[in-house]
Amino acid sequence: MSGIGTGRLLAWPAFLIAGLLGGIPMALVIACSLMKPGAFGGVEWGLSFDAYRALLFRRDIFSGEPVFSADHLLIYGRSILLAAGTTILCLAIGFPTAAHMATRPPRARKWWVLAITLPFWTSLLVRTLALMLIIGDQGLINGLLLRTGLIQAPVAMLHTNFAVLLGLVYSFLPFMVLPVFAALERLDPRLVEAGADLYAGRWRIAFLVILPNIRPGLVAGCLLVFLPALGSYVVPLMLGGGRAMMAGDLIALQFGGARNWPLGAAEAVALVTLVLAALLPCWLMRGRAG
Amino acid sequence: MSWNRTSGSAVTMAEPEEMSLPSGCQTAEPSKARYLAIENLSYAINRRPVIKGLSLDIREGEFFTLLGPSGCGKTTLLRLIAGFETPDSGSLSLDGTSFQRTPAARRPVNTVFQNYALFPHLDVAGNVAFGLRMLNWPRDRIAGRVEEMLKLVRLSDLRHRHIGELSGGQQQRVALARALAPVPKVLLLDEPFSALDLKLRQEMQAELKRIQTALRQTVVFVTHDQEEALSLSDRIAIMRDGEILQCDTPQALYARPADRFVAGFLGDANFIAGRLLSLDASGASVAFPEGQRAIIRPGAHIPAPGRVCIMFRPEDVLPGHGAGLDLTANVAQKTFLGPDLCLHLDLQDGTRVKLRHRARAELDAVRPGQRIAISVPLAHLHIVRDTDR
């Protein structure tokens, strides 16, 4: 009895942080999205749904009539596609990596974990900058290719969707590898042997024995990659160069250069709604499994 | 009949094991006697040899046990048969077809693992059906076979239970049903009962023996429990340090051990030193330290002239003078064992031997420190290979 009471008591800091640092800002953003933009940024009091209307419609320059605009949908669509692509690539690269790590002797595993977490030692900004230097027109790859004579003109890689995807995969890969590794490490290796003993080949062992038993780790990895990738800001800003814009940049733009806080807030609310919609199936699946 | 440790030389027969001769060339009996044939098998982990040139023939339909202390390589041998490890050299063949290079997933053998290794994401029926699904059996045949197996292990009522909801004994049964479902040519069991308490273990042993007898299933069973091995097996191979010391029926192993280690591992044993004078068809002529001489019937071990180790069981020692080996000894200790009495005796040269007998008045009267006469009938003396313990 007292154990349950103590448990609740111990959870209070978490509730407090979630409420103060999650709930209040979110409420502010929602409130902000329902107001009018101030001339020099900020908001003016007064209820208005203009910001939400602006997500799908823009005013015609001449007539002033609202016309449908797919700009927001495009950017959101690109964000979702890039985030999904990042997740799939991270899974495709991260799973074999994690499997390799988990099958090393325990002492070697420590070094692998260290190697995977090593990029976190420097700031994301610096790492992204380094990536720019590698894939830029005068960068390492193009320089090498030009010098060897394989190409005549530099291949445009920076400021493309490819660059953003590369940057996202690079920055979020550890978030896939670590939870999948943890799940694989806990997996009883004899289950794999039992699968082989019962006539399952490599692929069937992977899909019918290993995958079902590490699903919580996979779900955690996918969420940890997909969610931050969807709202990422620094990577698309630097590697996309405004040409491959993602939702995060767009929101930042409204609060910065465009000085349209309500629109930025509405864009943020829309993004949160999208994330919730994406999470719902995962959450339902987990509920069924548990 | 008795199988000596001459791994390699005597057993490496000239016939190649991949032969595809019509079976008419051979008599039917030997092919059955060499159902699962292990020849000169070697395997090392990190350059440390675990299996050292081991050869063994397992018969069709027999309950064969690999018995030995932990670290003797018995589980490794089982894993080599299952295909979880690949031998460095030597060959494995089943019914004349060699399979040491076949991956585990294509070997017609199934394993019951020590910790069962049941799939936690599947229910009881799903676990039993797994191998059949991998073999692409049609659905209705799978369903029928799963029913049959669950009935065999008496778990029909629990087919939709999840593995986590089962007791240890029930999990054991599921593991057995899962391994038996694909009709394996050889069933491998790796210390399957070690996690169960005594009563449940005995129950499961009886159950396994019942099923094995009913199906005439060829079984290779790994254990370190002598009693379990003696009570279940048709034949036992005693292993130590990656080698087989002796392989025979439980009765023969107990009655005629070839090896000092085997004698001590299966039951209680006394050892005394002797000198071999001569060896011929009638027997081995041995001189004992106290000056006696005796002709001992040759047993499983063929000794070399010189110092030999003589073994006899405590229950074969008789109090008082008698025919056979006649000795005098000091009583060092007396232990009461329920129906039996055990006397710890010191011989003249200081060798400690034990006498075990039904408690009788004359034995009961014996006190520690007393000097008594004992005798061992010659039929119960065995020359064994003197291995360090």
| pLDDT of chain B, 389 residues: tens digit per residue | 334 333 333 333 333 333 333 333 333 344 367 899 999 999 999 999 999 999 999 999 999 999 999 999 999 999 999 999 999 999 999 999 999 999 999 999 999 999 999 999 999 999 999 999 999 999 999 999 999 999 999 999 999 999 999 999 999 999 999 999 999 999 999 999 988 899 999 999 999 999 999 999 999 999 999 999 999 999 999 999 999 999 999 999 998 898 899 999 988 999 999 999 888 878 888 988 778 888 888 777 888 888 899 999 999 999 988 888 888 999 999 998 888 899 999 998 889 999 998 888 888 888 899 999 999 999 899 999 887 54
Taking chain A, what is the end-to-end CA distance rounded to the nearest angstrom? 25
CATH T-level assignment (fold) for domain A70-259: MetI-like fold (1.10.3720)
B301 Cβ neighbours under 8 A, 6+ residues apart: B4, B258, B259, B382, B383, B384, B385
Q: Is A209 on the interface with B (CB under 8 A)?
A: yes
Query: To which CATH superfamily is domain B265-384 assigned?
Result: Nucleic acid-binding proteins (2.40.50.140)
CB A200 within 8 A of CB A249: no
* Token pair in block for residue B57: 């023939």
CA B37-B43-B46 angle, to 5 degrees, is 170
pTM assigned to the model: 0.78
Decide if A201 and B131 are in contact by the 8 Å CB cutoff.
no
Share of chain B above pLDDT 70, in %: 91
Decide if A198 and B131 are in contact by the 8 Å CB cutoff.
yes
- Cα gap B239→B74, rounded to integer Å: 7
- Which candidate in A199, A209, A215 is best for mutational testing of the B interface (most B CBs within 10 A)? A199
Task: Say which of B113, B119, B182 has its CB closest to residue A199.
Answer: B182
**Sequence spans of domains, chain A:** 70-259
CB B84 within 8 A of CB B104: yes
Q: Find, in chain A, the residue whose alpha carbon is nearest to that of B179.
A: A198
The 10s digit of each residue's pLDDT in B62-119 is 999 999 999 999 999 999 999 999 999 999 999 999 999 999 999 999 999 999 999 9
Q: Is B127 on the interface with A (CB under 8 A)?
A: no
CA A9 to chain centre: 33
Decide if A193 and B117 are in contact by the 8 Å CB cutoff.
yes
Decide if B182 and A198 are in contact by the 8 Å CB cutoff.
yes
Q: Is B130 on the interface with A (CB under 8 A)?
A: yes
The 10s digit of each residue's pLDDT in A58-107 is 887 788 788 888 888 999 998 999 999 999 999 999 999 999 999 899 99
B355 Cβ neighbours under 8 A, 6+ residues apart: B314, B317, B319, B342, B343, B345, B374
With residue A173 as reference, give the H or E element that holds it: helix A161-186
Task: Name the B residues in 172-211 with CB < 8 Å from any A CB.
Answer: 178-179, 182
The 10s digit of each residue's pLDDT in B109-125 is 999 999 999 999 999 99
The mean of the pLDDT values for chain B is: 87
Q: How far is A193 from chain B (nearest CA, A)?
A: 7
This complex has an ipTM of 0.79
